[in-house]
Amino acid sequence: MSIDMSQFYQAFFDEAEELLAEAEHLLLALDLDNPDSEDLNAIFRAAHSIKGGAATFGMTDMAEITHVLENLLDKIRKNEMALTGEHVDTFLEAKDVLNSQLEGHRSGADVDRDVQEEVKRKLKALSEGKPVSAAAEMASAAPASAPAAPKPAAAAAPAAPVDKMRHYHIDVKALSEKDTANLEGELGLLGEVSSKRLDNGHVAFSLKTEDSEDDIISICAFIVEPEDIKINLQSDGAAPAAAAGAPADGKHRFNIEVPELSDKDAENLKSELALLGDVSISKAGGKTIFALATEDTRDSIESICSFVVDLDTLVIKDAVDTPAAAPAPAADVAVAASGFIEGDGFGFFEPITPPPPAPVVEAEPPKPVEAAPAPVAEKKPAAVKKEVEKPAAAETTSIRVGVEKVDQLINLVGELVITQAMLEERISKLDPVTHEDLLNSLGQLTRNTRDLQESVMSIRMMPMDYVFSRFPRMVRDLATRLGKKVEFVTSGAATELDKGLIERIVDPLTHLVRNSIDHGIEVPDIRHQSGKNETGRLSLSASNRGGNIVIEVTDDGAGLNRERILSKAKQNGLPVSDTMPDSDVWQLIFAPGFSTAEQVTDVSGRGVGMDVVKRNVSAMGGVIDIRSALGYGTTMSISLPLTLAILDGMSVSLGDNMYVVPLNLIVETMQPQATDIKTVTGAGFMVHVRGEYLPIIPLYSLFNQPTQITNPVDGVLVIIEAEGKKAALFVDGLVGQQQVVIKSLETNYRKVPGISGATIMGDGSVALILDVPTIIKMGQNNNSEGVYQ
Amino acid sequence: MAKTILAVDDSGSLRQMVAFSLTAAGYQVVQAVDGQDGLNKARDQVVDLVLTDQNMPNMDGLTLIKSLRGMSSYQKVPILMLTTESSDEMKAKGRAAGANGWLVKPFDPKRLIDVVQKVIG
């Protein structure tokens, strides 16, 4: 039966990605002086699990790195080696390499071989207790001669050399040039290796290593079938042990005596031994004797035999040339040390006899060995009962679904919401008394629709942790590079945000965090001088506020310098005045090409960015706000709508048309008194609202829409606020508050200034959704004309 | 009646592969994500064979094996360790805990099925 392993790849990719992220998280939190052993274990486990999976699914490159990584981690977690900053740095590098390898396997992206080798070398050097830099030198001089980590010796290795270095002779059946090179590379990880192509097509490798035979087999298993490999342990540098005094064919003959074997076991053992060489079987004096001609050592024979018989009862003797001859008295070689029954990559501690295939109740019980399977009759009933009840289902608490499926679902629900609103609209015209039942049912439908919509929208929601988790590493690297001390804290990582937004917020947020470290937080000396803690504090927080998600990047650094920003703005020819409020001054840094950094660093300060940040945030329907105090720090606050697909809006009327104003941008609505309206020369009309004068933006003139109502006193003012600016939007009247499904105008028509999208109203008509920040800007330009009489 | 196998591994992909392979070979597979989960599932239903990883959070494989051997219904159920550690030390520990054998990772589905068939037919 063949099983397609590729079907498990996706699961492995996801799992490995999670494990890597988890490992990175733990690494960053490690306290070098006093590492938490649980954390070290968890990191080790992550490497271990990835190695297991990578090896199983044939991703050799990942298995290699995790192998050396695991060895080093193992030493550290067993306290054989003290954890240093260098370790953590290298682990993090290894993590990055693994990530890129993962990406390589997942999407076929290119993986930088040099980086991989470099990390591997570093890890090896570290596990040998050498500093990383020395490893690089050593690597350029000669291939690493010492292996990654000493492992327990292979079963019963005879007289290992004092330095634990052993010399293996590995014979591999028919191997292509490419595979030979690959395998040589793999074996090179363990120690010094050389290869030779033999006349019979086999390839012989000579390997000097401290690692065990198991390690060699598992490394080889990536490239060749384990059955095709023969490994001989050579006494230091000499010819294979078994070959000493062997017959001309290079094979040594053994007689293997085994007591009382069943026919079946004898057959099993024979077939196992046949893997080593030519074998024949005979019986004598209650013993079964196998005559074997092989190039392999006693050890290999023992481990093969032990799979079927107890080693205590096994006798292996050197045979005279004729098979099955009377055994010559030989040294007692029955080694009971391991006592395992070992097969190819598996083994049993004691013989296990499978129960008869058919569930016969009166079956002869298997050998009364403690650990043998229980008699069928004893345990069957319970098992049978359960099996009927519960078919073996995969134990999963989550399913993975393509985003497009979810989007389609959201779209359909959107249509449903529109249909439902339409129904509501139609039915509202009916007589409520005669159609009471219908109205009740519709009320039910409305509630259900809303619940459905919320549930569906929540599918797309992801915790902010998805974004936050990538920052600790970045902050650490950056702070180190800039010689700053930064304590990084996050809060509200569980806050959920639409998947589409989450992915798009990463870049702007990265930029802000970078800025905070580069320009905000000062170097320790300066912080010390200004009486601050040498370690700066950078916090990233997310929270739900109304219908918005507010994400804030706060540092306790130098703060924004008002004077410098103003002078720079003047230089750049931006319209500024010295009396501008702080909030307006801060907004200047979002101007394209604006940078006050005195020195352009490779981190930030090239003047590209803040305008891009702002543009990105605006494109998401969000606004960005700055609070800063010189000497005390800066907070960048990004406010985003919860989702892009559905919007809570206020519909307003203007002439024959309806417009939707996003509810989260409305401060209040009012019908102004004539006395509240003031004319300001050059600034159009203002309205006096609770001590504040706000510019009035008449929507009809902005959009050139005919309407009967041209005096604000007859209409309604909607006070809107975006990007720290307020304005009073003058419309005919308010229609109602409702959720609307956003349809893109750009994809269906083209971008229209002041309009962010469109929606279908309950009566089937189309209403445009206002782009409030742009409208406020447009209003400023428009106001000077004087728009009503 | 298909035999039931409890597969305990914290790695979802390996667990899935084990489950898929064994299901394809005609066994029923119950999956558990760590030792503790394995113990709970083993309590719910006495299985015919337990395959467990060693290195897992919450409860490791050896502890699981010891705990299972402490239950009267699991005295004689075969238990195999699926492990990347094939050192003698680990084998000795496994044997002491009450395991019947081991299978070295990485393994391919075919070998897994072979070994399982050797044990429970």
- pLDDT tens for residues A55-95? 888 888 888 888 888 888 888 888 888 888 888 888 888 88
Q: Are A346 and B45 inside 8 Å of each other by CB?
A: no
Residue by residue, pLDDT tens for chain B (121 residues) are 688 999 998 888 888 888 888 988 889 999 998 899 999 999 888 899 999 988 888 888 899 999 999 888 898 899 998 877 767 788 888 888 888 888 887 778 888 888 888 888 7
Q: Which of B3, B89, B111 sits opposite A152 (nearest CB)?
A: B89
Taking a C-beta distance cutoff of 8 angstroms, is the pair A425, A763 a contact?
yes
Cis status of the peptide bond prior to A152, with omega within 30 of 0? no
Q: How far apart are the two ends of chain B, measured CA to CA in Å?
A: 12
Over the stretch A598-636, which tens digit does the pLDDT of each residue have?
544 444 444 447 888 888 888 787 888 889 888 888 999
Distance CA A176, CA A548 (A): 62
Residues of chain A numbered 40-99 and touching chain B (CB < 8 Å):
42, 44-45, 48-49, 51-53, 55-57, 63
Q: Are B101 and A349 inside 8 Å of each other by CB?
A: yes
Q: Which of B57, B78, B80 sits opposite A45 (nearest CB)?
A: B57
Q: How far is A349 from chain B (nearest CA, A)?
A: 5
Higher-scoring residue by pLDDT: A233, A401: A401
CA atoms lying within 13 Å on the CB side of residue A488: 21
Contacts of B88 in chain A (CB under 8 A): 152, 155, 338, 340
Cα B68–Cα B72–Cα B75 angle in degrees, nearest 5? 65
Q: Are A11 and B89 inside 8 Å of each other by CB?
A: no
> What pLDDT is stored for residue A679 in this prediction?
83
Q: How far is B27 from chain A (nearest CA, A)?
A: 9
Q: Are A347 and B14 inside 8 Å of each other by CB?
A: no
Q: Are A391 and B28 inside 8 Å of each other by CB?
A: yes
> Residue A744's closest CA among A755, A731, A733?
A755
Residues of chain B numbered 49-88 and touching chain A (CB < 8 Å):
49, 55-57, 73, 75-80, 84, 86-88
Whether A307 contacts chain B with CB within 8 A: no
- In this structure, what DSSP letter does residue A8 have? G
Mean pLDDT of chain A: 74
Q: Are B13 and A57 inside 8 Å of each other by CB?
A: yes
- Buried b / exposed e across A334-343, counting CB within 10 Å, b at 16+? ebeebbbbbb
> What pLDDT is stored for residue A248 in this prediction?
45
For every residue of A731-768, DSSP letters joined together read: ESEEEEEEEEE-B-HHHHS---TTEEEEEE-TTS-EEE
Contacts of B33 in chain A (CB under 8 A): 395
Contacts of A52 in chain B (CB under 8 A): 11, 14, 84, 105-106
Contacts of A344 in chain B (CB under 8 A): 111
- Which residue of B lies nearest to A9 if distances are taken between CA atoms? B13
Q: How far is B64 from chain A (nearest CA, A)?
A: 16
Q: Are A371 and B98 inside 8 Å of each other by CB?
A: yes
Q: What is the mean pLDDT of residues A330-351?
A: 55
Provide the number of CB pairs (under 8 Å) joining chain A to chain B.
184
A344 has pLDDT over 50: yes
3-state secondary structure A345-390: CEEECCCCCCCCCCCCCCCCCCCCCCCCCCCHHHHHHHHHHHHHHC
Q: Are B106 and A55 inside 8 Å of each other by CB?
A: yes
> What pLDDT is stored for residue A342 in this prediction?
63
Distance CA A12, CA B13 (A): 5
Contacts of A370 in chain B (CB under 8 A): 76
A783 has pLDDT over 60: no
Taking a C-beta distance cutoff of 8 angstroms, is the pair A701, A684 a contact?
no
A552 has pLDDT over 90: yes
The dihedrals phi and psi of A132, each to the nearest 5 degrees, come to -60, -40
- Which residue of B lies nearest to A379 if distances are taken between CA atoms? B46
Contacts of A39 in chain B (CB under 8 A): none
Distance CA A767, CA B81 (A): 65
Higher-scoring residue by pLDDT: A52, A542: A542
Over the stretch B73-94, which tens digit does the pLDDT of each residue have?
898 899 998 877 767 788 888 8
Tell me how far the alpha carbon of residue B31 is from its chain's centroid.
10
Over the stretch A145-172, which tens digit does the pLDDT of each residue have?
444 444 444 344 444 344 456 677 777 7
Q: Are B110 and A2 inside 8 Å of each other by CB?
A: yes
A140 has pLDDT over 90: no
Query: Any idea which of A424-428, A505-509, A699-703 has the lowest mean pLDDT?
Result: A424-428
> What pLDDT is stored for residue A379 in this prediction?
40
Over the stretch A711-731, which tens digit does the pLDDT of each residue have?
888 899 999 987 778 899 999
In a mutational test of the A interface, the residue from B86, B112, B113, B114 whose CB has the highest number of chain A CBs within 10 Å is B86
A404 contact partners, CB below 8 Å, separation of at least 6: none
Whether A693 contacts chain B with CB within 8 A: no
Contacts of A8 in chain B (CB under 8 A): 13, 16-17, 20
Q: Which of A44, A352, A374 sits opposite B119 (nearest CB)?
A: A352
Contacts of A1 in chain B (CB under 8 A): 24-25, 109-110, 113
Q: Are B25 and A1 inside 8 Å of each other by CB?
A: yes
> What pLDDT is stored for residue A91 in this prediction?
87
Q: What is the mean pLDDT of residues A424-434?
A: 84
Whether A373 contacts chain B with CB within 8 A: yes
> What pLDDT is stored for residue A237 in this prediction?
41
> What pLDDT is stored for residue A223 in this prediction?
65
- In this structure, what DSSP letter does residue A240 have? B
> Residue A67's closest CA among A222, A280, A261?
A222
Residues of chain A numbered 392-411 and touching chain B (CB < 8 Å):
392, 394-395
Q: Are B32 and A212 inside 8 Å of each other by CB?
A: no
Tell me how far the alpha carbon of residue A541 is from its chain's centroid.
21
Q: How far is B68 from chain A (nearest CA, A)?
A: 12
Q: Are B23 and A348 inside 8 Å of each other by CB?
A: no
Over the stretch A352-394, which tens digit does the pLDDT of each residue have?
655 544 443 343 444 444 444 444 444 444 444 443 444 444 4
Taking a C-beta distance cutoff of 8 angstroms, is the pair A565, A574 a contact?
no
A451 has pLDDT over 80: yes
Q: Which of A3, A218, A357 sits opposite B121 (nearest CB)?
A: A357
Q: What is the mean pLDDT of residues A661-672?
A: 88
Taking a C-beta distance cutoff of 8 angstroms, is the pair A74, A47 a contact?
no
> What pLDDT is stored for residue A661 in this prediction?
93
Top-confidence range, A641-655, A750-764, B67-81 = B67-81
Q: Which of B17, B23, B103 sits opposite A8 (nearest CB)?
A: B17
State the pLDDT confidence band at A17, using cuts at 50, 70 and 90. Answer: confident
> Residue B30's closest CA among B2, B58, B56, B66?
B2
Q: Are A392 and B47 inside 8 Å of each other by CB?
A: no
> What pLDDT is stored for residue A328 in this prediction?
39
> What pLDDT is stored for residue A664 in this prediction?
79
Over the stretch A239-286, which tens digit does the pLDDT of each residue have?
444 434 444 455 667 777 776 666 667 777 777 777 677 777 776 666
